[in-house]
Homo-oligomer: A and B are copies of this chain.
Amino acid sequence: MTVKIAIDCMGGDHGPKVTVAAALAFVAEFPDAELTLVGHADRLESRLRRASTDKAVRDRLRVVHASEVVAMDEPPALALRNKKDSSMRVAINLVKSGEVAACVSAGNTGALMAISRFVLKMLPGIDRPAICTVIPTMTGQTRLLDLGANVDCTADHLLQFAVMGSILTSAVEHIAAPRVGLLNIGEEDIKGNEVVKQTAELLRATDLNFVGNVEGDGVYKGEADVVVCDGFVGNVALKVSEGLAQMLSRFLREEFERNLLTRLIALLALPVLSRFKKRLDHRRYNGASLLGLKGTVIKSHGSADVFAFSQAIKRAYFEAENGVIDKIAHRVSSYTGLQTAALLIDPAKDSAAMGEA
């Protein structure tokens, strides 16, 4: 079966230079994939001509023209209203029409979210889309959601994130029952804010493999395959991690650059340090999933290079190939039932939970 993916080639800090090169690299590696490159047709065609590409590979690439580009700092509402022929919008339209199974963009996150939500709509039973990314851990990797789409969440929202994260992980990583953890500030049930406590109750009533609360350090210890939190907390957790990693990397470099001797040692240690760096290479984890929509949309980091952007295309490929959207759609209805059942278990607690929702 062919997996068709649309690429917003104009998005991101580097535009076609990166996106087209990544598309070519990807399509050469995945013989059952077909890519639709969306953007200024002349510029894209010209890049394709200049690349010395196999005919077999070239045949699996097509170009669709889009006359506009959403700027990286454009207010999402304006992009949604005014840029009907942007490369981002046209790529999402292709998902909507069913011509492709997924789309990838390195463009403006807010605009991508707003346009995806407007064009594709939410899956029944999901109130809001969530942003989900993969991060490395001591034992492998974990998926964290939400990362900033939702700053004021109810327990129902967090439950929906947990269900979506679990299904995504199960489908893509081929894990039967991914361990789902709830990001909290203590492992005991009594810890946390009200929303988190209510969410734990809801999660316990599902058939998800809920492993309970996970603390901040537990995320990197690999205590769960999926870690659920509201978008405010998830965004802070992710960005604090980025900042700390940058700081440690700078301090390490400074120490190795301190004097002639340390520079010599650095030269000797280069293979070791390179392996260390590669192991944590954030480009390998590029590509966040916008979950909860009636279609697969992957957000690449705006500054992604060719390698990083091709990783984002791979995420789109594996989500499409493994039918993540259908699986979420199919399960959400059953979870809505379960959740209602959970609410009936303890009417006193649930009136509060429902009030919150």
Chain B contacts for A256, CB-based, 8 A: 272
Please tell me if A355 contacts chain B, counting CB pairs below 8 Å: no
Residue on B nearest A274 in the bound complex, by CB = B255
Contact partner of A151 among B137, B185, B218, CB < 8 A? Answer: B185
Number of interface residues, chain A, beta carbon within 8 A: 55
Select A240's contact among B216, B248, B273, beta carbons within 8 Å.
Answer: B216
Residue of B nearest to A229 (CB): B236
Q: Do residues A272 and B255 form an inter-chain contact, with CB atoms below 8 A?
A: yes
Docked CA distance A279–B255 (Å): 10
Chain B residues near A354: list those with CB within 8 A: none
Q: In the assembly, how many copies of this chain are there?
A: 2
Question: A233 touches which one: B138, B215, B218, B232 (CB < 8 A)?
Answer: B232
Partner of A185, one of B137, B229, B236, B243: B236
Can you sample 21 A-B contacts with CB below 8 Å? A138-B247, A148-B185, A151-B185, A183-B236, A185-B231, A185-B232, A217-B242, A217-B243, A218-B243, A220-B243, A220-B244, A220-B246, A232-B233, A236-B236, A236-B237, A237-B240, A251-B280, A252-B276, A256-B272, A265-B265, A269-B269
Taking beta carbons and an 8 Å cutoff, which residues of A are in contact with B?
A: 136-138, 148, 151-152, 183, 185, 192-194, 196, 215-221, 229, 231-233, 235-248, 250-252, 255-256, 258, 262, 265-266, 268-269, 271-273, 275-276, 279-280
